[in-house]
Structure 1
Amino acid sequence: MYKYVIKPLLFLLTPDFTHKLIVFCGRVAQALPPVRWGIRKSWGFQDNSLQQEVSGITFRNPIGLSAGFDKNIQLLSLMEDIGFGFASGGSVTLEPRKGNRRPWFHRLPKTKSVVVFAGMPNKGLRKIRSYIERNTRRSSNAVSVISVAVIANKTTIEQAGGYPAEQAIINDVKKATEYIIHNKLASVVEINISCPNAGKEPFIEAESLDVLLTTLDIVPRDVPFWVKMPHLYDVEQFDSLLKVIVQHNVQGVTVANLIKDRSKINIKDSLTDEIRGGLSGAPTREHSLELIRHAYKKYGDRLTIIGVGGVFSAEDAYAKIKAGASLVGLITGLFFEGPQLVGQINRGLVELLKKDGFSRISEAVGADFRSRSKKTKKL
């Protein structure tokens, strides 16, 4: 029904309006218990083999909503009903942020991608707190992740004379994380150092990242911290960031954000330079897999890896898990395949586990490396 009826209608609308419409309808749906029951019965799927404990948190399945869709964290209850094992909201800032001038999104149907140029719009943590508390009253048990944008608030920019100094940005991020933790707003805090649509990215360099994480180390916490990694083709630079991260109080890395370098991918749709932004979806799939393998091979014993990028099927998710990801995030797959995709992926994962002789999803994490090791021994 989604493929042949709903999707063609939605794709007649602009992507920005479609996003607004889906968020509005989602908020209405999650406020109606009979609708929520119907969604759970129709789309939700859980199996004990998919449950695992990561950083002291029990995830009922490894498939989560990535940050970037639910920008103001208004849909936690609905995401739980659809069947996600966790839901990431944001990226957020302490104060409200308008983001870039619209349009924020541009569809590439043949490429199975979305060009994103939102610029971290959100209503600010004080307002977002009310949305989260409302969802909590609805007895939402979903694992919630708040992604904090490593970007300066408007007042910080003004105080810095129009240019946000790195230390001012760090202070804003520290205040935001402290607010989240003090008010118990999230199960996990994700530090988004890769904000490709919000100007300069000073913290994708090892030295500045070390300064940021050193400041965050002193923040008292009872939740894990993840770092959302940039999608870098320079593996040495990528590794330099990981080397810094493992020296700090960080439990996981999200690999990886949008692709900015369009020369590295095969774009099948018309896309001019005037349409600005990073690309999501299918173009990110293969190289994100290589980055996951690199992170797991070198730091898998110290960091949980959350694999994102181009997940449209159970096979896509399973490839990331076998490459070393304990958890898998997606957004673009929902736009192209529909909300039933989450249940389909989880059902497919159960079958793939059985096929490979695994009884639990945790046994499959990093399986590619164990298979290679066995082959090497035989040779």
Structure 2
Amino acid sequence: MYKCFIKPVLFLLSPDATHKLIIFCGRVAQSLPPTRWFIRKMWSFQDKSLQQEIDGVNFCNPIGLSAGFDKNIQLSPLMEDVGFGFASGGSVTLEPRKGNLRPWFHRLPKTKSVVVYAGMPNYGLEKISNYVKANQTKIQSMPTVISVAVIANKSTKDKLGPKVPEEYIVKDIKKAVNYIIDNNLASIVEINISCPNAGKEPFIYPESLEILLKEIDTIDRNIPFWIKMPHLYDINQFDSLLKVIVKHNIQGVTVANLVKDRTKVEIKDPLTDEIRGGLSGEPTRKHSLELIRYAYKNYGDKLTIIGVGGIFTAEDAYAKIKAGASLVGLITGLFFEGPQLVGRANRELVKLLKNDGFSSISEAVGADSKKKPKKLKKLLKNSCKTTSAAV
């Protein structure tokens, strides 16, 4: 239904118009109990083998919505109905932010990607908190992740000018995080140090990240904090950030954000330099997998890894899990494959686990880095039993 009827119509509209339409229709749909019931029956799939407790939070399945789609955290009930195991909203700021001039999005159909240049638009946490609180009673168990943009508030910029010193940005971030904690808005807070469309990224260097995380450590809280990582091709810089992160009270890393360097990926559609922004979807898939594998191999005992980038199938999600991701996030896959992708991927993940001899998703996490996959161990065990019986 989606690929034959809905998608062709949506793709006739501009990506910005499509995004607005989906948000509007989604809010209408989740306000109607019969529609919510129908969506659950049509698309949602859950299984005990997909359940995990991670950083003290329960997840019914590992597939979540990445931040960047539900910018004002208005669609959490609908995301649970579709079958997501968690939903990330934002990235948000304490004060309202208009974002960049439109268009924010540019579709690359052949590349299976979207160019994103939104600039972190959101209504500000005071207004967003009204949506979150109104929807909390409609959510059964799905964790809500709020992504906090690491940029200065408008009032700070108005006071200090466009070049805001890092210490003032840190104060603004701390205020936003404290607001989320004080108002019980999230199950998890994600600190987005990789805002690729809002200007410079001051905290993707170890010295400045150290300053930020020292201040974050002073926040009194009882929920996990994640860091959303930039999509870095310099593995030494990537490692230097992880070395800083593990010294602080941070529980996980989201690996990784949009690709900014277009020379590193294959683009199959016309794309001029005038169309600014980072690339999502397929161009991010292969290298994000390498970054996940590196993070798990070197820091997997200290950090939960949330794998994002180019997930269009269950196999894509499973590859990230076996590379070391306990959870995975997607957005672009929804645009190209439709909302049924979530339930289908979860259903097929169960089959993939059984084929590899795993009884739960947690057993598959990091399987690529383990000496003996569970399937091999099972075969060896059965072989030993057969040999013993023969003797």
TM-score bin, normalised by smaller chain: over 0.9
Segments of structure 2 that go 5 or more residues without pairing to the other structure are: 381-391
Shift of 1:141: 2.3
Q: Provide the identity percentage.
A: 74
Q: Which residue of 2 aligns with 1:290?
A: 290
Q: Which residue of 1 aligns with 2:20?
A: 20
- Aligned ranges for residues 301-340 of structure 1 at < 5 Å? 301-340=301-340
- Aligned ranges for residues 130-145 of structure 1 at < 5 Å? 130-145=130-145
Q: Distance in 2 between matches of 1:39 and 1:310?
A: 25
Q: Which residue of 1 aligns with 2:247?
A: 247
SS in 1 for 2:370: helix
Q: Distance in 2 between matches of 1:161 and 1:21?
A: 36
Shift of 1:42: 0.2
Shift of 1:139: 4.0
Q: Which residue of 2 aligns with 1:97?
A: 97
Matched, 1:346 2:346: yes
SS in 1 for 2:333: helix
Change (3 A) 1:154 1:351: same
Letter in 2 for 1:174: K
Deviating more after overlay: 154-163 vs 264-273:
154-163
Q: What are the Cα deviations for residues 20-53 of structure 1, in whole angstroms up to 9, with x where unaligned?
A: 0000000000000000000000000000000000
Q: Distance in 2 between matches of 1:135 and 1:160?
A: 37
Letter in 1 for 2:75: L
SS in 1 for 2:6: helix
- Aligned ranges for residues 7-156 of structure 1 at < 5 Å? 7-156=7-156
Change (3 A) 1:139 1:174: same
Letter in 1 for 2:312: F
Segments of structure 1 that go 5 or more residues without pairing to the other structure are: none
Q: Distance in 2 between matches of 1:270 and 1:174?
A: 41
SS in 1 for 2:353: helix
Q: Is the 2:367–2:373 Cα contact (8 Å) retained in structure 1?
A: no
Q: Distance in 2 between matches of 1:372 and 1:234?
A: 30
Shift of 1:328: 0.2
Shift of 1:161: 2.5
Q: Which residue of 1 aligns with 2:362?
A: 362
- Aligned ranges for residues 124-273 of structure 1 at < 5 Å? 124-273=124-273
Change (3 A) 1:370 1:152: same
Calculate the TM-score normalised by the size of structure 1.
0.98
Letter in 2 for 1:239: D
Letter in 1 for 2:153: N
Q: Is the 1:71–1:91 Cα contact (8 Å) retained in structure 2?
A: yes
Q: Distance in 2 between matches of 1:82 and 1:114?
A: 22
Q: Is the 2:80–2:139 Cα contact (8 Å) retained in structure 1?
A: no
The structure 1 segments of at least 4 consecutive aligned residues displaced by more than 3 Å after TM superposition are 371-375
Q: Is the 1:76–1:140 Cα contact (8 Å) retained in structure 2?
A: no
The number of residue pairs the alignment matches comes to: 376
Shift of 1:156: 0.8
Q: What are the Cα deviations for residues 78-121 of structure 1, in whole angstroms up to 9, with x where unaligned?
A: 00000000000000000000000000000000000000000000
Calculate the TM-score normalised by the size of structure 2.
0.95
SS in 2 for 1:202: coil
Q: Is the 1:313–1:341 Cα contact (8 Å) retained in structure 2?
A: yes
Q: Distance in 1 between matches of 2:162 and 2:194?
A: 21
Q: What are the Cα deviations for residues 306-349 of structure 1, in whole angstroms up to 9, with x where unaligned?
A: 00000000000000000000000000000000000000000010
Letter in 1 for 2:239: D
Q: Is the 1:90–1:147 Cα contact (8 Å) retained in structure 2?
A: yes
Change (3 A) 1:373 1:64: closer
Shift of 1:148: 0.1
RMSD: 1.2
Q: Distance in 1 between matches of 2:280 and 2:129?
A: 28
Deviating more after overlay: 130-139 vs 258-267:
130-139
Q: What are the Cα deviations for residues 39-69 of structure 1, in whole angstroms up to 9, with x where unaligned?
A: 0000000000000000011100000000000
Q: Distance in 2 between matches of 1:368 and 1:128?
A: 40
Shift of 1:373: 8.7
Q: Distance in 2 between matches of 1:49 and 1:138?
A: 25
Q: Is the 1:230–1:256 Cα contact (8 Å) retained in structure 2?
A: yes
Q: Distance in 2 between matches of 1:164 and 1:351?
A: 51
Q: Distance in 1 between matches of 2:306 and 2:138?
A: 27
